[in-house]
């Protein structure tokens, strides 16, 4: 077994993975999901612990990581930013060094992406980004796994994301680029994804054959879409902008009328929580074309695969996943 204080791989952004590694995670997640449905639990994480630092509130991230570690035979520790010393002035560097002596991995959900990068630099154990203001890799991987369940070959698939070019949009663009798929993001000009994210994804897309479009024209973006995706218009920490954002994003809502403009059989996605009647209409999220709750369920299984890949016993990334290449 490897020395627990020897640095291993992190998942800070989707770009930390190769396309083959993403597909290996998908195949392993599919196996874990099948086992779960049969009541089979593998003790891949026996005697291993995951520290979970939360400086932002959470439902899906906390429950899925905590339940996932339990199902893998391990243990998850919930560490609120208000309770641990990190919230009282202890440095990120010292927190990283201390946790590295106690547990086998850290998942953090916070605001500034720099904090996650600093934690990873100083930790001797894997760090998983559970969400920052710039990236949400676990969500994007889950979303494309949800598509993978329906379309084994993701390359011909077109996803259209409508709304705020936020952390979820950033990670979706990166995942599409790596997998050679097509994505169109429709957002108001001043709310489009970060230029650095787009540029890096475009560079990858030139190698993989992916298609990336950024526009403020919703109808153009929706044409030919196999999946329509949206997220809240106001993310955590932006609450003071709510009224202003509602006016700006009024034309960026998934409605049943808009859904008809997409490809036949188009399915609807949302990472939740949803503000029904704002970014998505009630009749759409409750329709037969909605796979929103399949996405939510799949956070559990994809994150279990990620945990196994990063916290596994082998010296190479994802030793357990090599069987699923």
Asked whether the beta carbons of 270 and 113 are under 8 A apart, the reply is no
Catalytic residue among 113, 231, 253, 270: 231
Helix, strand, coil % in the chain, rounded to nearest 5? 45, 15, 40
Catalytic residue among 71, 104, 139, 303: 139
Active-site position among 48, 113, 143, 271: 271
- What is each CA distance from 97 to 92, 101, 169, in whole angstroms? 9, 7, 32
Tell me whether residue 109 is one of the annotated catalytic residues: yes
216 catalytic residue (yes or no): no
Residue 139 parent element (H or E): helix 137-148
CA–CA separation, 182 vs 202, rounded Å? Answer: 11
Annotated active-site residue 139? The verdict is: yes
Q: Is 136 annotated in the active site?
A: yes
Please confirm, yes or no, whether 323 is among the known catalytic residues. Answer: no
Tell me how far apart the alpha carbons of residues 154 and 147 are, in angstroms, rounded to a whole number: 7
- Catalytic annotation, pick one of 30, 109, 245, 253: 109
Among 48, 113, 136, 245, the active-site one is 136
Q: In whole angstroms, how far apart are CA 113 and each of 118, 129, 167, 171, 270? A: 9, 9, 10, 13, 23
Residues marked as catalytic: 109, 136, 139, 231, 271, 299
């Amino acid at each position: 077994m490897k020395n627990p204080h020897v640095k291993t791989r992190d998942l800070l952004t989707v770009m930390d993975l190769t396309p083959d590694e993403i597909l290996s995670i998908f195949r392993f997640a599919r196996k874990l999901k099948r086992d779960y449905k049969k009541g089979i639990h593998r003790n891949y994480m026996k005697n291993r612990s995951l520290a979970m630092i939360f400086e932002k509130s959470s439902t899906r991230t906390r429950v899925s990581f905590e339940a996932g570690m339990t199902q893998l035979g391990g243990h998850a520790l919930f560490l609120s930013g208000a309770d641990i010393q990190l919230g009282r002035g202890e440095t990120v560097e010292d927190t990283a060094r201390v946790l590295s002596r106690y547990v086998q991995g850290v998942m953090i959900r916070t605001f500034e992406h720099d904090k996650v990068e600093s934690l990873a630099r100083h930790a001797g154990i894997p760090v998983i980004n559970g969400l920052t203001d710039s990236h949400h890799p676990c969500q994007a991987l889950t979303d494309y796994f949800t598509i993978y369940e329906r379309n084994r070959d993701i390359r011909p698939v077109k996803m259209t994301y409508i709304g705020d070019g936020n952390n979820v949009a950033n990670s979706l663009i990166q995942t599409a680029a790596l997998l050679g798929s097509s994505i169109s993001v429709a957002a108001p000009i001043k709310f489009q994804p970060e230029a650095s994210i787009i540029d890096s994804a475009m560079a990858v897309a030139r190698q993989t054959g992916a298609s990336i479009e950024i526009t403020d024209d919703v109808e153009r973006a929706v044409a030919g879409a196999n999946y329509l995706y949206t997220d809240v218009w106001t993310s955590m920490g932006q609450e003071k902008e709510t009224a202003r954002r509602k006016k700006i994003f009024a034309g960026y809502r998934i409605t049943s009328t808009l859904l008809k403009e997409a490809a036949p059989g188009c399915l609807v996605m949302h990472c939740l929580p949803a503000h029904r009647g704002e970014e998505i209409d009630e009749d759409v999220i409750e329709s037969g074309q909605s796979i929103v709750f399949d996405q939510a369920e799949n956070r559990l299984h994809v994150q279990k695969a990620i945990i196994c890949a990063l916290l596994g016993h082998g010296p190479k990334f994802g030793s357990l996943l090599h069987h699923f290449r």
